[in-house]
Amino acid sequence: MKKVIRIGFVFFLLFGFVGSASAISNKAIHWGFKKATNGEQADAGQEYEALLEKYGAFYKGSPDDKSLYLTFDNGYENGYTKQVLDVLKKEKVPAAFFVTGHYLRTAPDLTKRMVNEGHIVGNHSWSHPDLTQMSVPKIKQELNKVKKETERITEQKGMQYLRPPRGVLSERTLKVAQEAGYTHVLWSLAYKDWEVNHQKGWKYAYDQILAQVHPGAVLLLHSVSKDNAEALEKVIQDLKKQGYTFKSLDDFVMKEQIKNPALTM
């Protein structure tokens, strides 16, 4: 009888988990949403909202709270992150920087400064691939390399937040990331700012951000943008005048986890 039980348990280990994994969709989702206008929140639609909630992910906060969450994607260094950090320090604004392996290898001093000045360093993968096209072990390897190298450079303990490279995700990648201890952080405010040879001036960046801002916005800016760096101080100052407060992602999670227990998993 015990032998039968053992065989059954082994069968479950071999095939039960495989069946469970295969039932999870790996259909690629290219993150997008209806942009905010007139201070109303951006909207990704009920289907995406439910999927993110299931895995403790988020892209915006409460519509009743004029809090903003400033985030940057740092795929590589283009000479503007120091200016960004200087502005954040002057204005006492926290931010999250999602870094790649390339960034960690080429800009360790800036990464260290981010942590030393109280900012969050998050995971943007090692090589910026489409995670939906990778095996589960490869996804975990991509994320773990960033985590370990960030810890080595900065002495930051652990890494909680993940932004999927290229804004591509699936239910499978959400689940893999959650099981690895990550919270997916998407965004509700962005514009095409990453083309370094097509910058349009600080006023263009300023106008794009101010036109989309809304209560609870998670702002995505790219640190390679000269326009962003030059507009940032006025953006922050004018949004403060409108009654907005800049908060960290940690503040968001502490606030939201009561309403959504998945964020604590």
Token pair 């004029």 is at which residue? 66
**Residue 177 phi, psi dihedral angles, 5° rounding:** -65, -45
β-pair partners for 60: 217
Catalytic, out of 30, 73, 128, 251: 73
What's the DSSP call for residue 260?
A: -
- Contacts of 95 by beta carbon, 8 Å cutoff, 6+ apart: 70, 71, 72, 84, 88, 119, 120, 246, 248
Tell me, yes or no, if 222 is annotated catalytic. Answer: yes
Q: Can you list the alpha helix ranges (DSSP code H) found in the chain? A: 2-11, 17-22, 46-54, 81-91, 101-106, 108-116, 136-154, 171-179, 202-212, 226-241, 249-256
| Selection from 235, 210, 259 nearest residue 64 by Cα | 259
Catalytic, out of 119, 128, 184, 222: 222
Left (φ > 0), alpha (ψ -120 to 50) or beta: where does 243 sit? left
| Selection from 106, 108, 99 nearest residue 152 by Cα | 108
CA 192 – CA 203 distance, rounded (Å)? 14
What are the Cα distances from residue 120, in Å, to 62, 70, 102, 157? 21, 11, 18, 11
Q: Give me the amino acid identity at 34.
A: K
Catalytic residues: 73, 222
